[in-house]
Every structure is written in structure tokens, then in C-alpha cells.
Amino acid sequence: MAAVGASSTVRYTVVLVYDPNGGYVVRVPALRGCVTEGNSLPEALDNAREAITAYLESLARDGHSVPKDARVIHLEEDDEEALIVRVPIGGAPGIAN
């Protein structure tokens, strides 16, 4: 885990899974419980950036260490056609260089 400190840019891997009912569900494996969605890929990625930023701000505010990105991604059974993307988070709180 990274130390809490000055802001910097980090990248987190996200897993986007197409929902047959429309849109995409997005999970951030390194951040337990960080899940969002979007009606299109651009919207899903924007929502992922917002969710990750809010998650990191919450950890920093509560004095917790910020997890590093996941090195290994475990896909779920329904993730057959998953898209895996590394999302840059600029000015991420709580990440020491």
C-alpha cells in the first residue's frame, strides 16, 4: 500500500462488462467495493474516474493507506467479454511519490 501523503497521478485497472440490458458495469479490483456503471463506454470510464477519486479521498480523509493497483485481475464467470483498462487519476489524494 502507498503511504498517505502528497497528491500525484496514479492509474487503476478497471474491468468493464457489457450489460445485455444496456450500458456497462465497471469494477475496480484494487478497491474493494468500488463499482459503478455507465450507459456508454465514455460515460462508464468517466464514472469510474469519479468513483475512484471519491474512494481515494475517503481513505485519505479517514487516515487509511491507499492500495496500489491490482497486479493480477481475477475475472468472474460473467466477464467473458470484459474490457480491461488502466484509468489515470490525476491529483489523486493520499498517494506519496
> Hey, what domains does the chain have and what are their CATH numbers?
8-89 (3.30.160.250)
pLDDT of amino acid 16: 95
pLDDT of amino acid 97: 35
pTM for this predicted structure:
0.80
Predicted confidence pLDDT, tens digits, the chain (97 residues): 444 445 578 899 999 999 888 999 999 999 999 999 999 999 999 999 999 999 999 999 999 988 999 888 888 777 777 888 888 887 655 554 3
Please, what sign has the CA dihedral across residues 1, 85, 25, 9?
A: positive
pLDDT of amino acid 75: 80
Q: Which stretches of the chain are assigned E, i.e. beta strand?
A: 8-18, 24-27, 35-38, 83-92
